[in-house]
Amino acid sequence: MADAVTAAAARPASKSEQAYAAVKARIVDGTYSPGYRLVLAKIAEDLGVSVVPVREAIRRLEAEGLVKFERNIGATVAGIDPTEYLYTMQTLSIIEGAATALSAPLIGPADIARARAVNAEMRGCLEHFDPVRFTALNQDFHSILFEHCPNPHILDLVHRGWNRLAALRSSTFRFVPGRAHQSVDEHEALLRLIETGADADAIEKTARLHRSATLDAYLAQSNS
């Protein structure tokens, strides 16, 4: 049984799986932006495969909501649903705030040092701003703070929220780059609360407002 599992793990990904991973990565990082027409033959040529695995990959991505089919146009990259983004960010602000507060007593000096190192990288991104890189570092930072959450159900909900944001291809900082500077400063304030042993309510509120401030900045930009 163990040999079978090992063999399965060692088996290379199918061409369909490779095409799926490649196209999804390009959607997530913005190479294929909302509305981009996905020409199967061109993608197949770029990836060095036939059209068949690309078609299978596109169908998978359609089922995930990342791709849609339009009459007389074909497959295109789906747009970001602003309502879904709103609900996801509102929910994440609540559950991530709770997870961070529950994690706080279990976060040690080594964790604080790791988080500060990530935040320093984020600060370094500000001069030549890369929203995709900044967003990835942002997730790394927050993961350090909530991963010690002793409640597995809350932790699962946080992971689901982050995964939903990834599916929405939501790098909010692409639309409101000015928010990135504020975010880095707020990270440091949150770290100071944790390392000085602030009460759970203060940590939860700070983490929640940090998340909701990003949503507010996005909504203000959208409305303008």
Give the pLDDT confidence of 28-45 residue by residue, as tens digits: 777 887 788 999 999 999
Query: For residue 118, what pLDDT is reported?
Result: 98
- Which amino acid makes up residue 41? A
Q: Over 70: is that where the pLDDT of 146 sits?
A: yes
Query: For residue 7, what pLDDT is reported?
Result: 47
DSSP labels, 156-201:
HHHHHHHHHHHHTT--HHHH-THHHHHHHHHHHHHHHHHHTT--HH
How do residues 116-136 score in pLDDT, each as one tens digit? 999 999 999 998 888 878 988
Name the residue with tokens 């090992």: 6
149 and 158 Cβ atoms separated by less than 8 Å = yes
Angstrom distance (rounded) from CA 159 to CA 184: 22
Mean pLDDT along residues 53-66: 89
Mean pLDDT along residues 97-116: 98
Cβ neighbors of 24 (< 8 A, separation 6 or more) are 57, 61, 66
